Amino acid sequence: MTREDWHNRAASLQIDGRGLIDGKRVASLSEETFASISPIDGRLLTDVALMGAQDVDLAVASARRTFEAGVWSGRAPAERKAVLRRLADLIRAHRDELALLETLDMGKPISDSTSIDVRATSNCFDWYGEAIDKIYDEVAPTAANTLALVTKEPLGVVAAVVPWNFPMLMAAWKVAPALAMGNSVVLKPAEQSSLTALRLGELALEAGVPPGVFNVVTGLGPEVGRALGLHMDVDGLFFTGSTQVGKYFMEYAAQSNLKKIGLELGGKSPNIILKSYRDTAHAAQTSARSAFFNQGEMCTCPSRLIVERAVHDEVVEVLTKTAAEFVPGDPLDPATTMGALVDHRHTERVLGFVDTAREDGADLRLGGTRERAETGGCYVAPTIFDNVRNEMRVAQQEIFGPMLSVIPVDSVDEAIKVANDSCYGLASAVWTDDLSTAHHVSRGIRAGLVYVNCYDCDDMTVPFGGFKQSGIGRDKSLHALDKYAELKTTWIALGR
Ligand code: NAD
């Protein structure tokens, strides 16, 4: 489709902003709404239901009722698989609609929404659907006169609270394994990006997920997210978002029913380019493309580029050249490689780091400017700070925008030390052709993901999550299923 096609489709979209509870689209009990504004150009997309604690009560009650009734939890894994795979097919069939909603709602380029977000979301439902009827429980090797069964049971009512940077995909990473395991789910999308979550809920109904098994509640974090966190009848709460809010969820759990908590939080990922890597230019190009992808709004954004001084100048030269590939443009144009940031508040916060970097003594090499202001949208140029010291604020705080800090170092061990000097531990990378150095660095870095001579490889088969204040637990892979299950041991006496 051309830019004009996408704009025409956007102009004729009818968007329903009501929540989804017990299989029905519903307004909030208060009948209040909030405006969903597109960061592309400030247009009003729709009014979204401003739900609160009482709406959350209804959604949780509906999830509890369906869970206890066994309409989903009691179905054979092979039946759940068939429904989840149908949902994956429906997501693919609605690719253009879902991609358009995602782009309008949070600003990413339409070519990324279609080729990455929609594809990865459908793949996630396929993958957990396919997995669930191939997992066996255990019989423990106990004495001959007993039988001890170790079985996995669904947690019960699972709540998922997700961010806006990959709205549908972050929801899928939680909803797919939770449903596969037989739980009933209440999903709360970020207030900046509610629209694809609501369509996902409708498509799940169409695929055959029984009404009330998958509910979507919209509204503000401190109201709806907090109400889910504090709810006495939610058995597990799985969160993706900032470290600050992740800490609140641990408090909510402690103040209420000690619900199970899973946290996928922020990052400040170190990316180490060493002189022992044969192709400095390739390392620098990949680093820039990974840092500026999705407007830099990525938890795994390699925002600290730690460079051995011998290759520093070449790295910075190639970085700045490659950054030119990312020109903020109309997100509905399939040729656009860099879209809008999520909203004006976030844009102001990101741009504020330009002054912060200057005050702390960093050199601004590229960007640092607001772009396309005439559109009424939220655009920032790719930005590179050079000669950054790791204690500076731009190297310590998560910016979550298109900003990259270059930190020169003198040795491999200094690079590891700098990499680990962060409260985060999500992703990391090292570029080297020396096998021992690759192992030395990957063992030395305290992070959940280490890339060697690459960045942002991705597959459903591998766990995703962080060390330190980047979170607790893992999304993706078979490991994620364990989060949504309780282990039960059943002893059966066999002898007399
Ligand atoms: P956020 O923490 O502000 O919001 C995330 C969700 O929490 C939203 O749904 C929001 O409504 C809700 N929320 C906000 N305040 C709340 C409160 N007081 N109580 C309960 N709920 C509340 O994060 P964001 O700005 O939407 O997303 C950006 C953050 O997400 C970044 O820190 C990024 O690194 C992180 N992230 C992490 C991963 C990962 O897998 N580790 C993936 C994507 C994004």
Of the candidates 407, 401, 400, 408, the residue with the CA atom closest to the CA atom of residue 369: 401
> What distance in Å separates the CA atoms of residue 422 and residue 391, rounded to the nearest whole number?
9
State which ligand 1 atom lies nearest to the alpha carbon of 220. Answer: 11
Whole-structure pTM value: 0.98
Write out the two tokens for 370.
């607001």
Pure H helices in 327-434:
344-360, 393-396, 412-420
> What distance in Å separates the CA atoms of residue 44 and residue 465, rounded to the nearest whole number?
35
Of the candidates 345, 358, 417, the residue with the CA atom closest to the CA atom of residue 392: 358
Write out the two tokens for 219.
């509204």
CA dihedral 281, 286, 289, 293 (to 10 degrees): -170
Per residue in 269-325, pLDDT tens?
A: 999 999 999 999 999 999 999 999 999 999 999 999 999 999 999 999 999 999 999
Angle at the Cα of 162 from the Cα atoms of 375 and 183, rounded to 5 degrees: 145
Of the candidates 207, 62, 20, 239, the residue with the CA atom closest to the CA atom of residue 125: 207
Pocket mutation for ligand 1, best pick of 216, 244, 245 (most atoms within 8 Å of C-beta): 245
Q: Which of 102, 124, 223, 299 is catalytic?
A: 299
What spacing in Å lies between the alpha carbon of 413 and ligand 1's midpoint?
Answer: 33
What angle, rounded to 10 degrees, do the helices at 195-207 and 167-180 form?
30
Q: In the prediction, which pLDDT does 81 show?
A: 98
> What distance in Å separates the CA atoms of residue 261 and residue 141, rounded to the nearest whole number?
31
> What distance in Å separates the CA atoms of residue 455 and residue 449, rounded to the nearest whole number?
10
> What distance in Å separates the CA atoms of residue 192 and residue 346, rounded to the nearest whole number?
11
Q: What is the SS3 assignment for 72? A: coil
Q: Is 264 annotated as catalytic? A: yes
Taking CA atoms only, the protein residue closest to ligand 1 atom 32 is: 242
Pairing of strands 370-371, 184-188: unpaired
Taking CA atoms only, the protein residue closest to ligand 1 atom 42 is: 299
> What distance in Å separates the CA atoms of residue 303 and residue 112, rounded to the nearest whole number?
20
What spacing in Å lies between the alpha carbon of 248 and ligand 1's midpoint?
Answer: 11
Amino acid at 400: F
- 429 neighbors 415 (Cβ within 8 angstroms): no
> What distance in Å separates the CA atoms of residue 52 and residue 27, rounded to the nearest whole number?
11
Please state, as a whole number, how many other Cβ atoms lie within 10 Å of the Cβ of residue 143.
9
E-strand ranges in 309-434 read 363-366, 370-371, 379-380, 383-386, 403-409, 424-425, 429-431
Taking CA atoms only, the protein residue closest to ligand 1 atom 37 is: 265
Structure letter (DSSP) for residue 180: H
Per residue in 436-480, pLDDT tens?
A: 999 999 999 999 999 999 998 999 999 999 999 999 999 999 999
Q: In the prediction, which pLDDT does 496 show?
A: 66
Distance in Å from the first CA to the final CA of the chain:
74
Beta-ladder partners of 184: 157
Q: What is the SS3 assignment for 47? A: strand
Q: Which of 102, 223, 264, 398 is catalytic?
A: 264
Write out the two tokens for 38.
């597109």
State which ligand 1 atom lies nearest to the alpha carbon of 400. Answer: 31
Q: In the prediction, which pLDDT does 456 show?
A: 80
> What distance in Å separates the CA atoms of residue 382 and residue 339, rounded to the nearest whole number?
11
Q: In the prediction, which pLDDT does 495 show?
A: 80
> What distance in Å separates the CA atoms of residue 333 and residue 13, rounded to the nearest whole number?
17
Of the candidates 220, 164, 230, 223, the residue with the CA atom closest to the CA atom of residue 197: 164
> What distance in Å separates the CA atoms of residue 157 and residue 236, rounded to the nearest whole number?
7
What spacing in Å lies between the alpha carbon of 445 and ligand 1's midpoint?
Answer: 25
Q: What is the SS3 assignment for 491? A: strand
* Cα atoms in the 13 Å half-sphere on the side-chain side of 400: 20
Taking CA atoms only, the protein residue closest to ligand 1 atom 16 is: 221
Ligand 1: which residues within 6 Å by Cβ? 161-165, 170, 188, 190-191, 221-222, 225-226, 229, 240-242, 245, 248, 264-267, 299, 398, 400, 426, 466, 471
Taking 50 as the pLDDT cut, the residues of the chain under it are none
> What distance in Å separates the CA atoms of residue 255 and residue 238, rounded to the nearest whole number?
17
Q: Is 102 annotated as catalytic? A: no
What spacing in Å lies between the alpha carbon of 162 and ligand 1's midpoint?
Answer: 6
Q: What is the SS3 assignment for 231? A: coil
State which ligand 1 atom lies nearest to the alpha carbon of 299. Answer: 34
Ramachandran angles phi, psi of 338, nearest 5°:
-135, 125
Q: In the prediction, which pLDDT does 123 show?
A: 98
Element (H, E) at 184: strand 184-188
Please state, as a whole number, how many other Cβ atoms lie within 10 Å of the Cβ of residue 261.
19
Taking CA atoms only, the protein residue closest to ligand 1 atom 39 is: 264
> What distance in Å separates the CA atoms of residue 37 and residue 188, rounded to the nearest whole number?
18
> What distance in Å separates the CA atoms of residue 480 and residue 201, rounded to the nearest whole number?
21
Q: In the prediction, which pLDDT does 455 show?
A: 97
